[in-house]
Amino acid sequence: MSESTAAADFDPAAVPVRAAATVMLVRDAPEGPSGLEVFMLRRTTNAVFGAGMYVFPGGRVDGVDGADEIAPYCIGLDDVATSDRLGIDHGGLAYWVAAVRECFEEAGVLLAQRRDGGRLELRNEDRHSVHDSSLSLVELCRRDDLVLDLSTTHYVDHWITPMGERRRFDTRFFLTEMPDDQVPLHDDKETVDSIWVRPADALAMQEVGELTMMPPTMVNLRFLLPHATA
């Protein structure tokens, strides 16, 4: 099929809009001038969506994110509370869980704690196992006696990919403070670079072409500008 034929066959109205979640990890700058920093990842140039773009950790909401099995491992918020905050009838919990899962898969940061209050010990192989679905988040929580404290992750914004794109997402943006005892890093698969950057610096770098970003990313960076600390 030629490109012109494929373009003629493309029906923008038939493209499904998939639920997604992304999370801004923020921290207070550990050195140099004080200020808030946000963690950003550069997507591989082979990505089918947002190729080469700098983004926050995030991705699609999967069926397992809203499964009944994950609810007992969530504290701080339940489906009623999360759905109310998103303005939907039900299913809000899945967005929060997806934000936690994607943060672990893409940045290696697990927004969880031991149920007994003990030290959280992460294995890098678990991150990749959750990503390839050979280990579910439920199985990880059950195995390591973990709970997800969803009250530390805050809903801030809502974007829907406009009609005309070949992939469309109904994305909820979240914000959380970076855990002190973890170190984030890109996965070298879907993401090939990562940086901690002040929002104003990221926007300035985008202006001169050093970083490429999508409009929702830029808007949410501007949302962070008035805040001096995490």
C-alpha–C-alpha distance, residues 97 and 120, integer Å: 18
pLDDT of res. 49: 63
pLDDT tens by residue, 177-202: 999 889 898 877 778 889 999 999 99
Backbone φ and ψ of 65, nearest 5° = -65, -30
Beta bridge partners of 36: 28
pLDDT tens by residue, 5-32: 445 577 888 888 899 999 999 999 887 7
E-assigned strand segments in the chain: 17-28, 36-43, 54-55, 58-60, 74-75, 113-114, 146-149, 154-160, 168-177, 191-197
pLDDT of res. 3: 44
Q: Where does residue 15 rank: exposed (0-12), middle (13-18), buried (19+ CB within 10 A)?
A: middle
